[in-house]
Structure 1
């Protein structure tokens, strides 16, 4: 899927950074109770985020279903259905959905993740009712022609070839995820495994659609130039007419991983790889599964350890030792069942990956042993809080912020409490989560090695052998 364009105000950026550097708590009033929420009689949740600066709205429908909810053996069906949702209904001819949005002066798209699937449009305010009508129509009236299904299946297979199998870094990422999760469905790719995708059928898509696509399994998010009363009236007239589906349950029964007892290692040799690179993934809790304060501390930990040119990994590996041309890390904490900590480094010319890995381990070991400084802590908090303010200036980003959190079981209150909770993180909190979750036994390490011997050839990868696939 195409990514929506984000716009930021440089003046707002400068003022936000200055304000937060002086007072990290100053963000609280801006984020407090910004969104309103209610529920339709059929169980559909609705969130409204008013922003009256321009007569534009972002309209999103989130379904509480993603790739991790697929029946084993049908990997990729969630993403496949996302594609098929743009086909036809009795009211909308094949391929006309996006064209109608475009003729109305709007933009639309969709994306699939492990835990949610979302569809969205950005249109003028007076087109909102039409968007609700169209989205409500395809929620229950999708029409799937066998020929169109087979054609679209070829499309997703080609997408997999171009995105995964022609990209050594993506192949390594996929293999590392498969090794990181011993039993949980997060270990399979959102786009699906090639051999299973090639067998996906019209009936697979219909079964998935009829079970999960219902108002009581959906969240409507509208941000922009609207009031709560306006949205409620339009939602009642469109989505409110759809009956709930009693077979949809709020509990997602997914297999859990057993205790991780041993570190795993992978090496991918591929002649198409441009550089020697090192990666490491750790399992970690998410904002849904973590104990109070832990997810925020993990965010701060990885901001200090791996985010940007001021991070410890970058300074140690790139600036000081010259072992790598780039290095960094991240905490991904918005999964329903857990999150991940990731590290990477691209080796400088002639530097063995073992030496790069050892230097990375030294950075992490120092944080585990000695923690972080108050200066690092303050800088990390201010950076996150400034990002929160910048993103709050974009209605599409706001809609995603609330939609994703609600789709994985969090609340509007959780979203709006995040800045205050980030501000509460202490240096000791960061040290504790580093010691607890940077556990080698709960990790996978991967090496990507340029190799001219032809170990991994393109033709080998057209047959069966990242966290959201975009249409």
Structure 2
């Protein structure tokens, strides 16, 4: 957090901030000592989670399917995301394009999203409209209707979405290429939206085959948060989703290729006249929460908070404040994947600086943490910041529905989700140093450079990419 106003009493303010953060941590620990969510299963295998929040007569209703882009048949990239779009077409009861209009007429909001590991659909409505949206969602779980014309029209929409979000964005192109290079065999290498040439071949049969196999109650998790009780949700769920038969051909076991050991660092360079300032990026393959050893993922969260989160992070202070070789620097840890996670770091070069300087300084900062560890003050502030984020997010029922849904769909338990603040609190400085030594290993990384380039020849492509693998470290 940046404090823009000047202060005459910095020590007093620092003490007050520390006290407030400590109070937040203690409040979080006590607030989550008892389970907040309740769960049960329907007879057809559908998992149901209820998170009660009586502050306002509003509910968030979400259905999470245990299927995402990483589960797609080979050569059909983008089919999970494509089907997500097609789910808003029609059923025997709902006319084409009417699903969202009905939700809007009920005074609610709805949307959906696809990731590598899940596809989720949600509505936020007044509590007395919950029965209606549950009935509608259950209906399209099994009664989706598609025509060839609808599919072809929506396919063009997806292709345009790819062009606008990826192909017209140099940073997105580089990120896509880096993911494709980071993974040797795992389908996380393939973009969620899909490769353009494969999207262009998707048809109605592909969509319906995918739908009929994966969209079943025993492959879904229902999460309802807000002004509801467990008994109320159970009754509504049995009356809607409970009537849908399970599909014995699909279940919780998801077999995917296992990533082999990575032995060589890889490097990418993308030049594009639309790039603006030169920037450096690095991805490290890292364990996710469900694949990591006990405490390892929490240590990575704390590590990245210290290393790359905000203007007080080590990277920002070193590259931007002290050496002034970058105009911005940061990073994040993506630990909510089913099969693996990723640590991402970046820096945008300042005027007059080159990326060799930037990369060398990033490597120096990482090496220092791996060799000398972090301070107790850094550790304390990082843990308090993470816990505070958790508490603030808990104030929003939609965030709560996402937190539980995402955790459960990749294999975490409610206990895992609710005990996260306590697990963060147990992280030690030695744990953080060990995480840096293990996961920030250059041999399991991809480094990318995005360079602006003048387009001197309108007859040639504006983009050039090259990649090399180098056995470093």
TM-score grouping bracket, smaller chain normalisation: over 0.9
What's the counterpart of residue 297 of structure 1?
299
Q: Where in structure 1 are there 5+ consecutive unaligned residues?
A: 1-14, 462-471
Quickly say closer, same or farther: Cα 1:455–1:132, change in 2 above 3 A.
farther
TM-fit CA distance, 1:458: 9.5
Match in the other structure for 1:51 = 53
Match of 1:242?
A: 244
Q: Secondary structure at the match of 2:134?
A: helix
Q: 1:286 aligns with which of 285, 288, 307?
A: 288
Shift of 1:19: 4.7
Q: Is the 8 A contact 1:277 1:344 kept in 2?
A: yes
- Residue 112 of structure 1 pairs with residue 111 of structure 2: no
1:267 aligns with 2:269: yes
Using a 3 Å threshold, how does the CA distance of structure 1 residues 427 and 205 change in structure 2: closer, same or farther?
same
CA displacement at 1:337 relative to structure 2: 0.2
Q: Of residues 409, 423, 434 in structure 2, which corresponds to 1:407?
A: 409
Distance in 1 between residues matched to 2:460 and 2:93, nearest whole Å: 43
CA-to-aligned-CA distance 1:271-325 (integer Å, 9 cap, x gap): 1111100000000000000000000000000000000000000000000000000
Q: Distance in 2 between matches of 1:411 and 1:101?
A: 31
Per-residue deviation, 1:350: 1.8
- For the pair 1:366 / 2:368, whether they are aligned, the reply is yes
Would you say the 8 A contact 1:89–1:143 is kept in 2? yes
Residue 8 of structure 2 corresponds to: none
Name the SS of the counterpart of 1:142 in structure 2.
coil
> 2:455·2:462 contact (CA, 8 Å) conserved in 1?
no
User: 1:166–1:458: 8 Å Cα contact kept in structure 2?
Assistant: no
SS of corresponding position for 2:161: helix
Which of 304, 324, 327 lines up with 2:326 in the alignment?
324
Partner of 1:28: 29
Please give the alpha-carbon distance, in whole angstroms, between the structure 2 residues aligned to 1:69 and 1:457: 39
Give per-residue Cα distances to partners, 1:404-458, cap 9 Å, x unaligned. 0000011111100101000000000000010011111100000000001469999
Call closer, same or farther: CA 1:457–1:275 in 2, change over 3 Å.
farther
Residue in structure 1 matched with residue 138 of structure 2 by the alignment: 136
The 3-state SS of whatever aligns with 1:88 is: coil
Contact 2:218 2:251 in 1 (8 A): no
Work out the CA distance in 2 between the residues paired with 1:370 and 1:317.
19
Separation in 2, partners of 1:460, 1:202? 34
What residue in structure 1 maps to residue 4 of structure 2? Answer: none
Residues 1:16 and 1:399: Cα distance change in structure 2 (over 3 Å): farther
Residue number among 52, 63, 82 corresponding to 1:80 in the alignment:
82
Whole-angstrom CA distance in 2 between matches of 1:20 and 1:282: 31
> In the alignment, which residue of structure 2 is the partner of 1:122?
124
* Counterpart Cα distance in 2 of 1:347 and 1:429: 31
CA distance in 2, matches of 1:457, 1:290: 49
1:185-200 paired onto structure 2 within 5 Å: 185-200=187-202
Unaligned runs of 5+ in 2: 1-15, 464-473
Q: Which residue of 2 aligns with 1:334?
A: 336
Q: 2-side partners of 1:277 and 1:124: how far apart?
A: 46
Q: Return the match for 1:206 from 202, 205, 208.
A: 208
Task: Give the structure-1-normalised TM-score.
Answer: 0.93
Partners of 1:367 and 1:138 lie apart in 2 by 51
1:38 to 37, 40, 43: 40
Equivalent residue for 2:222, pick from 220, 223, 231 = 220
Q: 2: distance between equivalents of 1:297 and 1:216?
A: 34
Residue matched to 1:162: 164
- Select the structure with the greater relative contact order (CA < 8 A; seq sep ≥ 6): 1
Q: Corresponding residue for 1:153?
A: 155
**CA RMSD after TM alignment:** 1.6
- Equivalent pairs, count: 447
